Amino acid sequence: MTETRKLAAVMFTDIIGYTALMSRDEPKAMQLLQRNRKIQKSLAEKFNGEFLKEMGDGTLLSFRSALDAVRCALEIQRSSKDDPDLKLRIGIHLGDVVFKRGDVFGDGVNVASRIEPLADAGGVCVSEQVFQLVRNQPEIKAEFIGEKTLKNVDYPVQIYAITHKSQSTYSQESSLFQQPNPKRKSIAVLPFTNMSADNEQEYFCDGIAEDILNDLTQLEDLHVVARTSSFAFKDKNQDIREIGKKLRAQTIVEGSVRKAGNRLRITAQLVNVADGYHL
């Protein structure tokens, strides 16, 4: 079978909360997959892309250009924003890939798959390579969210959150944060600290914090700070009260994970931002 190697913009998407939905209501979850597939296939064609395959609730697409990929991603999010069940995360990377038998392989695919979990619900994250090719587009806004070490990627990757100009991007010191309703409780979940010597444990720590954050978003009376905002404080040695003020959260969840052999010790604390004391 002939292999074709070329530079391509690779997009990964994922439906947030799909596994939980499948366990509660399998027919509804299958209908959600169909809606997602219909939206993405139609828009991929519109933006000169190719819908390659589904992997459970995730999808893999490729595009001829980074700009086509970003525009398609933003349109996908716009098309699904009114569907309460269809909350997507999207990651995009530009890299050298190999096309074979209707599939795509290579480092570019691996990097894109690791970028996708960094996006918030309804968000789009891209690598530096993609950002440099779309930064001069007036309708696109980008916010640098940090240099990340991605699993199975042997070099750090600079990550940007992409939005349309009508949306707000994150800035720690800006007024783009929306002040939470004082009648609603507000909370932020910080990345858990890896207390072991195993660097691979870092991904598990982030996953624990993200799972807690996603569960909290299911509570209607709770204002939850977005993942991109709270995770921007990863490895930052700042007073918890100052972090809470910048995130405009009344309470903070922080914790740590320690691994010894096959045993894990996970601790978590709920902190009152007003005085810095544990609740």
pLDDT of residue 38: 94
Exposure of 123 by Cβ count < 10 A (0-12 exposed, 13-18 middle, 19+ buried)? Answer: buried
pTM of full prediction above 0.75: no
| Band of pLDDT at residue 175, cut at 50, 70 and 90 | very low
| Band of pLDDT at residue 183, cut at 50, 70 and 90 | low
**In one letter, which amino acid is 76?**
I
Q: Where are the domains of the chain?
A: 4-164, 185-272
At 37, give phi and psi (nearest 5°): -60, -45
The whole-angstrom separation of Cα 116 and Cα 120 is 9
The whole-angstrom separation of Cα 67 and Cα 221 is 38
Question: Within a 10 A sphere around the Cβ of 249, how many other Cβ atoms?
Answer: 25
- As assigned by CATH, the class of the 185-272 domain is alpha beta
Is the confidence at residue 157, as pLDDT, over 70?
yes
pLDDT tens, residue by residue, 66-121: 999 999 999 999 998 888 889 999 999 998 888 777 677 888 888 998 899 888 88
| Band of pLDDT at residue 230, cut at 50, 70 and 90 | confident
Q: Which residue has the higher pLDDT, 198 or 205?
A: 205
Q: Which of 246, 253, 248, 247 is nearest to 279 (CA)?
A: 253
Residue 13 contacts residue 40 (beta carbons within 8 Å)? yes
| Band of pLDDT at residue 23, cut at 50, 70 and 90 | confident
Mean pLDDT of 26-31: 92
Is the confidence at residue 173, as pLDDT, over 50?
no
pLDDT of residue 264: 85
Q: Among the CATH numbers 3.40.50.261, 3.30.70.1230, 3.90.79.10, 3.40.250.10, which is that of 4-164?
A: 3.30.70.1230
Mean pLDDT of 142-164: 83
Same fold, 4-164 and 185-272: no
Number of H helices, E strands in the chain: 8, 13
